[in-house]
Amino acid sequence: MTTELWQLEATETARLVRERTVSAVEVTEAHIARIDAVNGKLNAIVVRTDEHARAQASLIDSGSATGPLAGVAMTTKINTDHVPYVMDNGIAMLKDNMSSMTHKCIEGLLTDGAVMLGRTNSPSFALRSHTGNDLHGQTHNPHGKHLTPGGSSGGAGSAVASGMCAIAQGNDVAGSVRWPAFCNGIIGLRPTMGRMPSGGTNPNPRGLSGMMMSTQGPLARTMADLRLTYSAMQYPNWADPFWVPMQNDFPAPKSPIRVALITEDGHPMDDATKTAVRTAGRLLEDAGYEVEEISPPMLETLFSMWLRLGAMDVLLGLVPSLPGINDSGLTKATEGMLPMFPEPTPQVLMKALADRDMMFRAWNQFFETYPLIVMPVLTKPFMRMNEDIEGSEIMAPLWDHLRYTVNLASLAIPSLAFPIGNHDGAPQGVQIVSHSWREDLLLNAGDALELRLGKVHVVDPVW
């Protein structure tokens, strides 16, 4: 069977372009044709950049542009500044809001030679667990029309999974890289907050949630591609007050790394979820890790953390703005969440910050013994399209099923979402978590899983 250029790994594409076996223009045209073929079904890419891509590819072929990602097809997200494109954040009132500068993580991808193929869809204000908005419409999951592609980087996840691009830029304040990676059966990395430049581009101040929990992150189909993208996105940005020029390499451990598996926590957890976690543990054990089913401390405190930290931003900032934003999905999703939020008082916030401080201490000590934790992304097999706008009686259990993914962002530590098979056609997966700055441990664990499970391949929409 002939492999099409749009099916190749980013690393293989870059090699072929570097060796002049194929041209960057050929790779770009192949991806444009793939977008033409499948994006009508998926609506993952909502701004086409064909002519810019062709011009950029021509520069690479002429030798005027080089880099480890030269010729590789990438996409960027509609909530991230990228000149000369609109940064509309999925909101009609911002449909003409031109980016004033290019975000540094995107600048890093371009500097390394990646070719921009389009802007990917995101829910309004990137605040839903499903990707859809009244400006650009609904994005679909190539694995099934009944499945959500996740949010908020759902367009990025769907585009990577279906071969419209090899790599994608996303961002994560409550799971928005890891969750779409899980939904679409690909790999996503939420780095330690501060590892990637995140703030310092948009002139407007960020809310507390953004300052404490938001980070950029890559999505890809293979670990080698994820590593290249992760490296490129670590672009210096002193305008971001939280950016840290931290090392990536650490001394190799002198003894086998111990891994904690979370399979019980007193909340509903489907057997398919437990199977995925235990499968990851078994494969890591085969790779030489020491694996034990044990949970870290203060899980109940963790499970309420995002709502407590985000109460002021959502209740005092977002809710009064909903009439002006005028997005039906965001309004319904927010209304479904409102009963779960505590009162946005200084006392609630101060208690949440104190609890967060104690969790940092407790988890840091736990990581001393278990440097890796394998936990669920979603504790049921899948989320339906638009399940998050079916009312508070649906939203509350859905939020509980997302308890690890959403709340983990509040600790600002790194997490790798990795696919582990499927259940009735829906991709399954886990997230692997480690101490701040120890993305190297996560990437090595991902390599071990990929070696034993095989690489993720492009999927065609199943309908």
List active site positions: 77, 152, 176
The answer to whether the CB of 367 falls within 8 A of the CB of 411 is no
Calpha distance 5→8 (Å, rounded): 6
Q: Who contacts 112 (Cβ-Cβ below 8 Å, separation ≥6)? A: 67, 68, 69, 70, 228, 231, 232
Calpha distance 270→272 (Å, rounded): 5
Instruction: Extract the tokens encoding 55.
Output: 């011009």
The answer to whether the CB of 46 falls within 8 A of the CB of 20 is no
Q: How many residues are recorded in the chain?
A: 463
* SS3 assignment for the chain: CCCCHHHCCHHHHHHHHHCCCCCHHHHHHHHHHHHHHHHHHHCCEEEECHHHHHHHHHHHHHCCCCCCCCCCEEEEECCCCCCCCECCCCCHHHCCCECCCCCHHHHHHHHCCCEEEEEECCCHHHCCCCCEECCCEECCECCECCECCCCCCHHHHHHHHCCCCCEEEEEECCCCCHHHHHHHCCEEEECCCCCCCCCCCCCCCCCHHHHHHCEEEEEECCHHHHHHHHHHHCCCCCCCCCCCCCCCCCCCCCCCCEEEECCCCCCCCCHHHHHHHHHHHHHHHHCCCEEEECCCCCHHHHHCHHHHHHHHHHHHHHHHHHHHHCCHHHHHHHHHHHHHCCCCCHHHHHHHHHHHHHHHHHHHHHHHHCCEEEEECCCCCCCECCHHHCCHHHHHHHHHHCHHHHHHHHHCCCEEEEEEEEECCEEEEEEEECCCCCHHHHHHHHHHHHHHHCCCCCCCCCC
Whole-angstrom CA distances from 191 to 34, 272, 305, 440 are: 30, 27, 19, 10
Amino acid (1-letter code) at residue 93: M
Query: What burial class does residue 304 get, using C-beta atoms within 10 Å of its C-beta: 0-12 exposed, 13-18 middle, 19+ buried?
Result: middle
